Chains A and B, each alone.
Chain A
């Protein structure tokens, strides 16, 4: 017997939990399925802030927020969607405040705001440098209060469809028991995160950001768009790719080369700063972030995580030393195409958060707009999926046969997929990275196609049913391969430069 809910949500980060709260509030029953635990989701890593034109520090307007976002998007965004998001931003922040998020405050009792790159005013509301963590945990507390069912450590295998080919459920692997279970619903919301781990160790992201929902939606026939737009964050620690948040530059940090010279406007959009750093590195320079002049008290007050992580991973203290950095994959603008109701090209399937593409970031996302997007469109996805489910009712899914796990069992396991995973990460960092050429893109495409043709030579060593992370990581690898193929083919199809997609010698489309 399968388990039935009106709305099933895959993913329990900021987008999934926001969707869950709003769906539940509109009167449907909701099940959240997470491959981890909610508070371990990628959202916890967001540091900088959430944008809203509150004008708490100096004058600001929704219009300025729209203009800044549009400019950074390089013509690849949906202006109507951006306008909606920026208009909703003040009430999204007010809602987060009302559920208890501990935003940093000004002396006169307002939510404090800081300037992030590409913004014309201090617009990002923050909670020290733990903004994502504190938003995520507060959402989780509210989900517990609302009594929403959550099942942890459940891995998405496939989407289920009804006779009318609408999406009406999911097949999941219970990671703990190794059992495969089906869940039927009126609607499914994917809130399963981005694909920055395609770049393996050249990414700031959690090891879980493997594009699972995107790959599985595509396999079910959902349309993906703008997959070539991958944001490289200018300042990750050089050895570990650990993020040093944009607030470090927003608060006055400098970028220096080996000669100790500044070489770019630190507050330009991320794609521009990353390219400037890339050029310097290719000229043989080492690049450093300098926040020494901000002073110890300020650093401990505003950038405590950064100080701790720099000490741990680079053995340097940012109060006294330069921080060695490099740009790495940080956020993926591309994703599952959705309409203004957050519905995908498949009826019954909704998407929000980084796995979705609401076309509000276009060619390059602004700092502070990702947390905003998950709250604004998480709500829309939750409300619209609930509405859909009320009309459609819980449908019966067509019976499915073997799962991917059954197929993998016959793979030969002669080649090591972990080594190949790292290889692809390095290959994509070099060939499908900050600066691209047609020739290098084609090389990467051929390589991915070769690996896919030989996929049966890879496989899983661990035969345990119980908590088999070797199996999970192999399925993530399969998802990464599908995503990689789409990223590189989209990159080849866009022959002009645009935002984060920069082709050497090509005309700039923006």
Chain B
């Protein structure tokens, strides 16, 4: 099994005898047996810690959940500073959670959740912050202030939580460099290892925003000639 791994500016090829192995197993073998300097992050091996996100043949994967094929090309995530080899600095994308105020702001004292309510944001709360979505996002690639997919999904998680009393305040915080900047291209959905669609969550946040009278600024910039916002998708 031969793989090539981007290290700095160049791809380096490694031959391993492992068959039917996950990419993480291959990386660990290279690290311990072939080249101690290979640098990557890993943790749980079971797709819940989000450490080993990277790109294989230009698509984001978790190394622990990807079975390697001969000739695979391995690269670090995009749209983040590479610290070394396959390790990128996640601090910047993680900071968007704080910027988007992705937390429960005002808990209702009266609302009781039941089994149906649990399902409303179950998938959103499966997020492992692996950052695959930011790597795949063409908007974040050109606008580094864009709040981005996982932060907006997290906001939707709390906005859709029936216990949240401050939903208007929460959607107010994601109007700028937020939900209206997304092009709904769906790239984030396709790469999410947890089957989360940030695109769909952003659409739901747009609907919620419209209920509070927020408008798509892309419409407003046309001199208001489009009349009232009817809730239909922007593109």
Contacts and interface: CB of A to CB of B under 8 A. Distances in A.
Interface of A: 36-37, 39-42, 44-45, 98-100, 102-110, 112, 127-128, 130, 133-134, 137-138, 141-142, 144-145, 152, 176, 206-208, 240, 242-243, 305, 308-309, 312-313, 416, 418-419, 460-462, 464, 466-470
B127 to A, nearest CB: 7
A142 B128 CA distance: 16
A105 B48 contact: no
Interface centre among A39, A98, A176, A243 (most CB of B within 10 A): A39
A128 B115 CA distance: 11
Contact of A176 (B67, B89, B118): B89
Contacts of A44: 44, 48-49, 128
Contacts of A242: 45-46
Interface residues of B, number: 55
Contacts of A309: 46-47
B43 A36 contact: yes
Contacts of B107: 98-100
Contacts of B117: 105
B49 A39 contact: yes
Contacts of B36: 418, 460-462, 470
A309 B49 CA distance: 14
B181 interface: no
A133 B128 contact: yes
A502 to B, nearest CB: 28
Contact of A467 (B39, B42, B47, B104): B39
B48 A130 contact: yes
B51 interface: yes
B46 A305 contact: yes
B104 A99 contact: yes
A105 B118 contact: yes
B125 A102 contact: yes
B65 interface: yes
Given A45-B44, A141-B102, A37 B118 contact: no
Interface in B49-102: 49-51, 65, 67, 83-84, 87, 89-91, 94, 97-98, 101-102
Those 4 A-B pairs whose CB atoms lie nearest each other, nearest first:
A100-B104, A109-B112, A418-B32, A141-B103
A22 to B, nearest CB: 17
26 contacts: A36-B43, A39-B50, A39-B128, A40-B44, A41-B49, A44-B48, A45-B48, A99-B107, A100-B107, A100-B161, A110-B112, A128-B122, A141-B97, A142-B103, A144-B98, A145-B101, A152-B91, A176-B83, A206-B44, A309-B46, A312-B22, A312-B65, A419-B32, A464-B37, A468-B39, A470-B36
Q: Is the interface of A mostly helix, strand, loop or mixed?
A: loop
B87 A144 contact: no
B113 interface: yes
Contacts of A206: 43-45, 49
A144 B158 CA distance: 14
A106 B46 contact: no
B115 A207 contact: no
Nearest to A39: B129
Interface in B104-136: 104-105, 107, 112-115, 117-118, 121-122, 125-129
Nearest to B67: A312
A57 to B, nearest CB: 13
Given A100-B158, A100-B163, A467-B39, A144 B103 contact: yes
A321 B12 CA distance: 40
B43 A137 contact: no
B49 A45 contact: yes
Given A461-B36, A467-B83, A102 B122 contact: yes
A461 B39 CA distance: 13
A313 B125 CA distance: 25
B125 A137 contact: yes
A141 B234 CA distance: 30
A507 B47 CA distance: 42
A207 B46 CA distance: 11
Nearest to B28: A207
Given A45-B44, A137-B127, A462 B37 contact: yes
A134 B158 CA distance: 13
A130 B126 contact: yes
Contacts of B199: none
Contacts of A106: 114-115
